[in-house]
């Protein structure tokens, strides 16, 4: 069955520190990959996406993610976090073999920022 896993439920990092949020998926073909962010009380906003090409993807707000086929991962990174990055982050995946494939969301990782 198709699945996407975010192993970390909650992460706390200090302001200015680097960040890496993990995402693993289980598909045979190269999937379409997304990271969304949800600020408190808000809907989800797209941070970045990967469909094909360069495996290192740049997104908004200084985030980047790297697709690693061998590890079935699409981890989100930021070199230096800001207090405003406190939010919930969702990895999402859609199989790439069909345009009818639906996006499946992970269970989310809540990010807290330590002053």
The binder of another protein chosen from 32, 66, 73, 77 (CB under 8 A):
32
- Take residue 47 and report the two structure tokens written for it: 């941070």
The binder of another protein chosen from 54, 70, 100, 115 (CB under 8 A):
100
Residue among 43 and 115 whose Cβ is closer to another protein:
43
CB of 78 to another protein, least distance (A): 20
Q: Is 35 in the site for another protein (CB under 8 A)?
A: no
The set of residues, in sequence order, having a beta carbon less than 8 Å from that of 53 and lying 6+ positions away, is: none
Q: Which residues from 38-57 bind another protein, rule CB under 8 A?
A: 41-46, 49
**Which string of b and e fits 8-27 if b means at least 16 CB within 10 Å?**
eeeeebeeeeebebbbbbeb
Q: Which residues from 80-99 bind another protein, rule CB under 8 A?
A: 90, 94-96, 99
Report how far Cα 111 is from the mean position of its chain's Cα atoms: 12
- The residues that touch another protein, with contacts defined as CB under 8 A, are 9, 32, 34, 36, 41-46, 49, 90, 94-96, 99-103, 105-108
């Amino acid at each position: 069955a198709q699945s996407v896993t975010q192993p970390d439920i909650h992460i706390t990092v200090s302001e200015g520190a680097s960040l890496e949020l993990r995402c693993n998926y289980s598909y045979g073909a190269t999937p379409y990959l997304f990271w969304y962010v949800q600020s408190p009380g808000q809907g989800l906003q797209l941070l970045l996406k990967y469909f094909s090409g360069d495996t290192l993807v740049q997104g908004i707000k200084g985030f980047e993610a790297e697709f690693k086929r061998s590890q079935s991962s699409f981890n989100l990174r930021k070199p230096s976090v800001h207090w405003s990055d406190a939010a919930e982050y969702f990895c999402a995946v859609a199989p790439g073999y069909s345009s009818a494939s639906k996006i499946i969301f992970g269970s989310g990782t809540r990010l807290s920022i330590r002053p």
